[in-house]
Amino acid sequence: MAIKKLLIANRGEIAVRIIRAARDLGIATVQVYSKADKDSLAVRLADEAIDIGPPQASKSYLNQAAILAAAQATGADAIHPGYGFLAENAEFAAAVEAAGLIFVGPTAQSIRLMGDKVAAREAAASAGVPTVPGSEGRLESEEAAFALVEKTGFPVMIKAAAGGGGRGIRIARSAEEFHHLMPQAQAEALAAFGDGGLYVERLIEGARHIEVQVLGDGRDVIHCFERECSLQRRRQKVWEEAPSPSLTQAVREKLCSSAVALAKAVNYRGAGTLEYLYDDRTGEFYFLEMNTRIQVEHPVTEMVTGIDLVREMIRVAGGEPLRIRQDEVRVGGHSIEVRINAEDPARNFLPNPGTVSALSVPGGDGVRFDSMLYQGYTVPPFYDSLLGKLIVHDKDRPSAIRRLERALAELSVEGIFTTKPLHQALARDADVKAGRFHTAWLEPWLESHAAALATAQPPSAVKVAP
């Protein structure tokens, strides 16, 4: 069944991205919005827009009944959830299909299986994909968890079985820390995801974070190679690139093949990402989890492969088979994405919503800016602080970094603080240029560069009260 009218159950830059992809396919779009987003760029661009409730996400973007009612009221025949909010909610995917609509993403069964990190680890092991040594199942009690840790030894990561975004995770380096942190992790997981289940795995220090992009149609699966996402703050990605500067070709082939094997094992449909830890000292990699949705950092894969991932997932959801064979997917050049957030890096990344008084967007060959911004737009305080993503592409990594520096210099968002100074400093850093970093590298770097970041904001940025 070809999709004729697509409802976007999201907001911000990803909503704009989906609207543009749908329009390229000749599909009409409906944008849902909360009262805080009535003046958003997505609302301006969509063919239709419909109010689904108050600013609070729980009463709008997470309100399944309101979203389904909006689809029925506007005659939409499909719903794209974007990322975040309801994107990885198996019950929502099932409700969409039960309402006779198309869910642009995997089946509820796949979301449910891969959304539970313990079940995903078990599926990975069955598919022959290596996982980080740790618990084989959910650990509902502190006693059972500690019994396992006594065998594996410290340090360990205590992780929520459900959810993501770095929540429900603690690192314990001793028995005393473990007993102190285990209840914290359980309480946070229960509050964030409604599920207090945990699992424990060995902490691999100094590891890289590598992820593999896959596309499937429920029968066949291909990979679109990997992304490096090791520059992280509080387990939130800051800078992403493709291909990874740390992989050998032999490891790349093994890693990508393992991702395809696991995605095929769960009959995956749509765009998805498999995340791994990679120890570049030993060449070993370990499966972490699967994100059953489009990723924030998908543009770097698009830039190096020439594949429009959002268009392909819409096509597949509409019943088309994959049109791309694995041997047709090739990597050309290097791409980097940095996240431009409404945050002040000099004040512990304090969110800084406000009105964009002036905007200058970079251009030129190999530069892309996916954003929700326009001059005069007021960034609301109710949601994630991501404003957009600056993506560059060039023939190799050094050239891409130079292009990123040029594009950052051209980018100007006046009226609010942004994370632009952070990315300018990272692009100049010798270790970043050499690819010498890992998942725990950025936070000590931020501490040592706090003074420099404090003087880097433009005078046009307006401070908010602490």
Rounded to the nearest 10°, the torsion over CA 380, 376, 52, 7 is -120
The encoded tokens of residue 378 equal: 């007021």
CA gap 139, 178 in Å, rounded = 14
Which DSSP string corresponds to 148-197?
HHHHH-SSEEEEESS--TTTT-EEESSHHHHHHHHHHHHHHHHHHHS---
Whether 318 and 3 have beta carbons less than 8 Å apart is answered as yes
Calpha distance 15→371 (Å, rounded): 10
* Among 443, 232, 242, CA closest to 339: 232
Give the pairing of strands 334-341 and 236-242.
Answer: antiparallel
Rounded (10°) angle between helices 175-193 and 142-152: 130
Question: Hey, what are 215's tokens?
Answer: 């596309």
Q: Give the DSSP per-residue string, 59-110.
A: GTTT-HHHHHHHHHHHT--EEE--SSTTTT-HHHHHHHHHTT-EESSS-HHH
> Which pair of tokens denotes residue 452?
């420099």
Closest C-alpha to 106, from 381, 353, 316:
316
**Length of the chain, in residues:** 466
Give yes or no for a contact between 299 and 368, defined as CB atoms under 8 angstroms apart.
yes
User: What contacts 101, CB < 8 A, 6 or more positions away?
Assistant: 68, 71, 76, 77, 78, 79
Q: Which of 293, 315, 339, 368 is catalytic?
A: 293
Q: Using CA atoms, how far apart are residues 251 and 253, in angstroms rounded to an integer?
A: 5
How far apart CA 243 and CA 395 sit, in angstroms, is 12
Q: Are 182 and 205 in contact (CB under 8 A)?
A: no
Residue 92 amino acid letter: F
Distance CA(276)–CA(229), nearest Å, equals 10
Q: Is 403 a catalytic residue?
A: no
Active site members: 293
